[in-house]
Amino acid sequence: MDRLVLGTRGSSLARWQAAHVADGLRRRWPGLIVEEKIIVTEGDRLQTGPLWNVGGKGLWVNEIERALLSGAIDLAVHSMKDLPGQITEGLVLAAVPPRADPRDALISRSGAALADLPLSARVGTTSLRRTCQLKAVRQDLDVQILRGNLDTRLRRVDEGTVDAAILACAGLERLGLASRISERLSLAQMLPAVGQGALAIEARADDEGTQSLCRPLDHEESAIAVSAERSFLARLGASCRTPVAAHCILADGQATLSGLVGRPNGSEILVDRVTGASSEAIALGAMLADRLLKRGAGAILAINK
- Pairing mode of beta strands 164-168, 104-108: antiparallel
Are 65 and 191 in contact by the 8 Å Cβ rule? The answer is no
Four-residue CA torsion sign, 169, 170, 171, 173: positive
Whole-number Cα distances in Å, 158 to 116, 153, 165, 179: 18, 9, 10, 14
Query: Hey, what amino acid is at 200?
Result: A
Whole-number Cα distances in Å, 302 to 58, 135, 167, 169: 20, 21, 28, 31
- Residues annotated as catalytic are 82
Four-residue CA torsion sign, 113, 119, 120, 122: negative
Helix (H) or strand (E) holding 147: none
Residue 214, judged by CB atoms within 10 A of its CB (0-12, 13-18, 19+), counts as buried
